[in-house]
Structure 1
Amino acid sequence: MKEKIQLLTQEIQAFNAKNADELEAFRIKFLGSKGILKSLFGDFKAVDNSLKKEIGQELNQLRQLANDTLNSQKGILESSKVKTKSNTDFTRPAEPIDIGARHPISIVKNQILDVFSRIGFTVSEGPEIEDDWHNFTALNLPEYHPARDMQDTFFIEQDPDILLRTHTSSVQVRFMENNQPPIRTISPGRVFRNEDISARAHCIFHQVEGLYIDTDVSFADLKQTLIYFTKEMFGKSRIRLRPSYFPFTEPSAEVDIYWGLQTETDYKITKGTGWLEIMGCGMVDPNVLKNVNIDPEKYSGYAFGMGIERIAMLLYQIPDIRMFYENDLRFIDQFKSVI
């Protein structure tokens, strides 16, 4: 029996199944209910008692070898089956990936933030659903102030004190409440006003507003900041400041840049004057500083704000503000080359 066990061991070690049928035949031959191992264990009863321990160990080793061989060969066949199952032709050219594009509002917003970040402005953000204090009262617009009519507001019906913010100046109020001068921050965000939608106006739009507060801040500092911005953003440094009115700044001004009259488009967008309004600005009203517990005797500051859509329409000659909100891929795809 020992010689037979040795021969069977060699046969099992040399076995290499080419397919599942051969592996199944191996299993039946060695491990089946009528297989060789079953027969050997039957013959084991007739072995001399002095040899039973030795031969019993060899039989157990033979059975273990058969089981291990069966399992390993089964794993090899299954692995091979997975590899050959794929019908993918890896030599074929890949399908082109449709690369998305940034929205022009995001492009322009990031450009504006980048310009001001170079001179120390940090970004601050706040909630779109505001309360009356941060959106109006703290900005020198107390209840029943006529200037509130300048901004047609969406109020929340359940609470007349809660509204959709009409400007990102509310973010500046929150920032001043939680930070002491020197303050140099810029606040981008979406704002809402109850206006009729047309080619030049929308009830939803985006603003960027800047704020600088420190000791001895003057209107000259504001003007130099604006000149720097227009030169970096538009490549034009000629500006003019026209007196205006904003409740939270005094004095206040509208900022125009000289766009020029070199092309027919220049004549059209500047109405033949060469000048184009881009933003509002002014020195922060002392009452605003008092409302946020900043001493107006010690500190002064300036603020400015602009509409992102207006700047984008100017830079890319977009004729209709509604195009920003229609999600038309033909429009968005035009900005794929813009970083």
Structure 2
Amino acid sequence: MLIRVLSIHPAHAFRMAMPLSHSPLLKSPSYLLLRHHSFAPPSLYRFLSFRSLSSPLSSPFSSLSSNRSSKKWKQPIAALLEIGGVKIAKDDVVKENDPTNNVPDTIFSKLGVELHRRDNHPIGILKNAIYDYFDTNFPAKFVKFDDLCPIVSIKENFDDVLVPADHISRSYNDTYYVDAQTVLRCHTSAHQAELLRKGHSHFLVTGDVYRRDSIDSTHYPVFHQMEGVRVFSPDDWAGSGMDATSYVAMDLKKSLEGLAKHLFGAVDMRWVDTYFPFTNPSFELEIFFQEKWMEVLGCGVTEQEILRRSGRMDGVAWAFGLGLERLAMVLFDIPDIRLFWSTDQRFTSQFSEGKLGIKFQPFSKYPPCYKDMSFWISDSFTENNLCEVVRGIAGDLVEEVQLIDNFTNKKGMTSHCYRIAYRSMERSLTDEEINQLQGRVREAVQSKLNVVLR
């Protein structure tokens, strides 16, 4: 894959993320499952340019432009990239004057980085280990895609994966919208339908995916997924004495149990029935690893509607999806998801191509600094927007944002108190730095989020 920087200009370097709000809807089982295991359909969206769309859809988040940081934290952002033959201009992705756009500079700066294509990076090492398993057990069967453009239509990202029109995962609070009809993919499933239509029956799709998410050691607004799909024809199950769904489900479980053993060794496993809108039946695979049960992936028998829309009228398929960071953190003993993006040689030099499971040796134990912030919230307040503001100023120096107290007074006003943990993975932070950051955070929170500081 070709990544070519054609022109450069400076912009601040910090990444943004967003946590889930505390509403019951956002914590519903089906929503959380979709966030972690959206692995089924949508299609390959090759965008060459974007036009501003005239749409009544507006976003309350479009005003959350990131603050400029001091010179010591600036990094270059490519003004024009070429990824897999697709030219991407910054102005096509970050549209400050489009009310439906909520993509900040810091997210655009991740386009084209593609950690999964680096053979000596933990993410790339894990990807290649999974490739090795499928190449060994299904010789010359699975076609691999790892350079597909991450900018897709909402049809590909949601509709083709059978996500209901009113599903919360479509909200601006969770998804990065380029415009009213275009998003940064939330899952590698955004390419499944197109690949099926093109005639592929066995394929693996790996890529960077984007979601507004929490700020803590296991959540980041950019991470990496792998999707696997296998389509069966009637001849495959004809002599088995089983119906098509049972036969495909059996093959799915056998294949993924083998993958788990390939990655983790001889571990105990169990299957848990679950729900996804794009598979039926649906399962999660858990392994007993390091003295506890750990969820490894989500999977299931693909909904027939997806295959019918793709012209596969008589086929039955299985699909799985897994998060590479989630597994890499366990296999390599990496304690903080921010480390995957580190360019510090003390981190990068620890990993080598083909060496799965080398245990990360911490090179720093710098202390955290905690700052509390209390304010009266408005009806439009969400934690995702708070974290967007905090990470926009502090970048990867913010380790966690946690709600530690809330109450409603007799006048019906609600107060939230958040504890912000600042910690660098590479150096000690000074009191002056932290106080300056916290001061800027407080100013931005009050001005951008329509809250009143206490």
Normalised-by-shorter TM-score class: 0.5 to 0.7
- CA deviations over 1:136-162 (Å, ceiling 9, x no partner): 101112422456469921001xx3110
Amino acid at match of 2:251: D
Return closer, same or farther for 1:151/1:287 CA change in 2, 3 Å cut-off.
farther
Which ranges of structure 2 fall in alignment gaps of 5 or more residues? 1-117, 234-243, 356-454
Return closer, same or farther for 1:145/1:234 CA change in 2, 3 Å cut-off.
same
Return closer, same or farther for 1:151/1:280 CA change in 2, 3 Å cut-off.
farther
**Structure 2 residue matching 1:250: 3-state secondary structure:** strand
Q: How does 1:280-319 map to 2 (within 5 A)?
A: 280-295=298-313, 298-319=314-335
Q: How does 1:1-339 map to 2 (within 5 A)?
A: 102-118=120-136, 119=138, 120-125=141-146, 126-146=148-168, 148=170, 152-156=174-178, 159-179=179-199, 183-215=201-233, 216=244, 217-236=247-266, 238-259=268-289, 266-267=290-291, 274-295=292-313, 298-336=314-352, 339=355
Q: Which residue matches 2:114?
A: none
CA contact (8 A) 1:250 1:283 kept: yes
* Deviation (angstroms), 1:135: 0.9
Return closer, same or farther for 1:134/1:197 CA change in 2, 3 Å cut-off.
same
How far apart, CA to CA, are the structure 2 residues paired with 1:185 and 1:130? Answer: 19
- CA deviations over 1:93-136 (Å, ceiling 9, x no partner): xxxxxxx9811111111111221122132202422000011111
Amino acid at match of 1:304: F
Relative to the length of structure 1, the TM-score reads: 0.61
How far apart, CA to CA, are the structure 2 residues paired with 1:281 and 1:320? Answer: 26
* Deviation (angstroms), 1:228: 1.1
Q: Which residue matches 2:384?
A: none
**Structure 1 residue matching 2:319: 3-state secondary structure:** strand
* Deviation (angstroms), 1:190: 0.6
Amino acid at match of 1:124: F
More helix by share: 1
Return closer, same or farther for 1:174/1:101 CA change in 2, 3 Å cut-off.
closer
How far apart, CA to CA, are the structure 2 residues paired with 1:246 and 1:176? Answer: 19
CA contact (8 A) 1:249 1:282 kept: yes
Runs in 1 of length 4+ with deviation above 3 angstroms?
Answer: 145-151, 336-339
Return closer, same or farther for 1:142/1:205 CA change in 2, 3 Å cut-off.
same
How far apart, CA to CA, are the structure 2 residues paired with 1:238 and 1:160? Answer: 46
More strand by share: 2
Percent sequence identity over aligned pairs = 35
Question: How well do the aligned residues superpose, as a CA RMSD in angstroms?
Answer: 2.2
CA contact (8 A) 1:168 1:189 kept: yes
Higher RCO (CA-CA < 8 Å; seq separation 6+): 2
Q: Which moved further from structure 2: 304-313 or 139-148?
A: 139-148
**Structure 2 residue matching 1:198: 3-state secondary structure:** coil
CA contact (8 A) 1:151 1:193 kept: no
How far apart, CA to CA, are the structure 1 residues paired with 2:220 and 2:121? Answer: 17
How far apart, CA to CA, are the structure 2 residues paired with 1:338 and 1:238? Answer: 25
* Deviation (angstroms), 1:186: 0.7
